[in-house]
Each structure stands twice: as structure tokens, then as C-alpha cells.
């Protein structure tokens, strides 16, 4: 992989309403070594799987979202295991978007480790959700986080405005399913969001009854 390419799990997804405030574009990095028990996206662990994207093409695809988009959610996998590529991508996105566009990133590292691994990335973010997913601390009342150890860091005034009530207990937005029909008529269902207890089983049972396979792309860490 070259410095101007990023290993991604899949193409960007538009219209994501479950991972951050408003209507967002979601991207999922490929590769994660945290191996959290109960991870809802183990298909993102293998750093060799997924697909290479050039940074410029990915930035174009992110901002090419149809309709109005409030921001970008960067997830994975572990985005901070490709720190230089992540920084270059966010710079390219910032060049293409206005002041009202916010960027949220998820990571299994703590914010101190993020500062050491990727000192150039934090100034490009509005918000960071840090910490590995811990099954024993599953928290259905904290929006956008899977377990109570995960902290939401507001890094800009825009984040203070948009994420200001993120620590007020309330339920997660319900997970969201997107259906994509391939050129050969194949159907792929992708579920995004933070699963509450029982959500994953319920989704998979319902889709299995219709003979549909699923990808789960979200955040439970």
C-alpha cells in the first residue's frame, strides 16, 4: 500500500443517521488489532481484506453525497492504524467542505495514545469517541457509544453545539439498514449504528427469514 492510498472496508455510505448527529457520510477503515470480544464488525479486523482507495478519490466520494450532509463519521476497523493516510484524507475533506461540516472519528485507542500516534489528526476533528468496546459495560443509554468506558471528546465549538447533549442519558438511535442491489441482482443489506442488547439477533433473524445476508458496519466499541 502506498502513502496515497487507504485500505478501506467498503465504499462510503451516505445518509447515515445512527453514528453522530444529523445525516452523515460514513466510512470504515479496514484492519483492527484490538480484537474486542463482542465486536459487531470482525470482518474489518484483517488488514489485508477490504479494498484500496486513493485519498483523492475517497475524499471526492465522501463529499459527493446526495442531498444535504451534516458531516463525516470515520469508523472501522481502526482508523488510527493508518495515521498518515487518515490525516491526508481529513485534510482533503476539509479542503472540500465548509465550516458547518463536522467530522467525528471512532477509535479503540485512548485520546492520549491518539495524540502520540497521530498528532496531526486531532486538529482536523470536531469530535472523537475513544476506547475499546467492553461487553461487560454495554450502555444502551449513551448515544453513539457501545460501552460506558467510551468517552466522547468535543474538540471544537461546532462539536459543543452538535454533541452538547451526548452525555445526557437517552436511547441510541435505532440501528439503520441500507439495502444495495448489485449489477447482477445480488442484494446486500448493511446495518449501521450501535446495537442495543438483542438488536443484532433480531435483525439477522428477520433478514434470514427473507434469505438476505448482512454486513454489520457500526460501532459497538
Tell me if 1 contacts ligand SF4 by CB under 6 A: no
Tell me if 78 contacts ligand SF4 by CB under 6 A: yes
User: Quick check: helix, strand or coil at residue 167?
Assistant: coil
Binders of ligand SF4: how many residues, by CB under 6 A?
15
Tell me if 77 contacts ligand SF4 by CB under 6 A: yes
Q: 85 with 5: CB under 8 angstroms? A: yes
Tell me if 108 contacts ligand SF4 by CB under 6 A: yes
Q: 13 with 190: CB under 8 angstroms? A: yes
Taking alpha carbons only, the member of 57, 59, 105 closest to residue 81 is 105
Angular region, 155: left φ>0, alpha ψ -120 to 50, beta rest: alpha
Between 45 and 101, whose beta carbon lies closer to ligand SF4? 45
As a whole number of angstroms, the distance between CA 100 and CA 71 comes to 8
Q: 123 CB contacts (<8 Å, ≥6 apart)?
A: none
Tell me if 39 contacts ligand SF4 by CB under 6 A: yes
Tell me if 32 contacts ligand SF4 by CB under 6 A: yes
Give least dist CB 110 to ligand SF4, A.
12
Binding residue (CB under 6 A) for ligand SF4 from 5, 17, 23, 34: 34
Residues that bind ligand SF4 (CB under 6 A): 32, 34-36, 39, 41, 44, 76-78, 108, 132-133, 220-221
Amino acid at each position: 500500500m502506498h502513502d496515497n492510498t487507504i485500505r478501506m472496508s467498503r465504499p462510503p455510505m451516505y445518509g447515515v443517521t445512527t453514528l453522530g448527529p444529523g445525516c452523515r457520510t460514513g466510512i470504515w477503515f479496514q484492519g483492527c488489532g484490538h480484537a474486542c470480544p463482542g465486536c459487531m464488525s470482525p470482518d474489518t479486523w484483517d488488514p489485508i481484506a477490504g479494498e484500496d482507495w486513493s485519498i483523492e478519490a475517497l475524499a471526492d466520494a465522501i463529499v459527493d453525497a446526495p442531498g444535504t450532509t451534516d458531516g463525516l463519521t470515520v469508523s472501522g476497523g481502526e482508523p488510527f492504524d493508518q495515521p498518515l493516510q487518515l490525516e491526508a484524507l481529513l485534510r482533503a475533506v476539509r479542503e472540500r467542505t465548509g465550516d458547518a461540516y463536522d467530522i467525528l472519528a471512532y477509535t479503540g485507542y485512548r485520546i492520549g495514545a491518539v495524540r502520540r500516534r497521530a498528532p496531526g489528526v486531532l486538529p482536523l476533528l470536531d469530535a472523537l469517541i475513544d476506547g475499546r468496546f467492553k461487553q461487560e459495560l454495554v450502555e444502551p443509554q449513551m448515544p453513539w457509544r457501545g460501552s460506558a468506558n467510551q468517552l466522547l471528546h468535543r474538540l471544537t465549538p461546532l462539536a459543543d453545539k452538535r454533541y452538547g447533549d451526548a452525555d445526557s442519558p437517552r436511547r441510541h438511535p435505532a440501528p439503520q439498514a441500507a439495502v444495495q442491489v448489485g449489477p447482477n441482482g445480488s442484494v446486500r443489506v448493511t446495518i449501521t449504528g450501535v446495537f442495543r442488547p438483542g438488536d443484532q439477533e433480531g435483525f439477522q433473524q428477520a433478514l434470514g427469514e427473507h434469505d438476505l445476508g448482512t454486513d454489520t458496519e457500526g460501532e459497538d466499541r
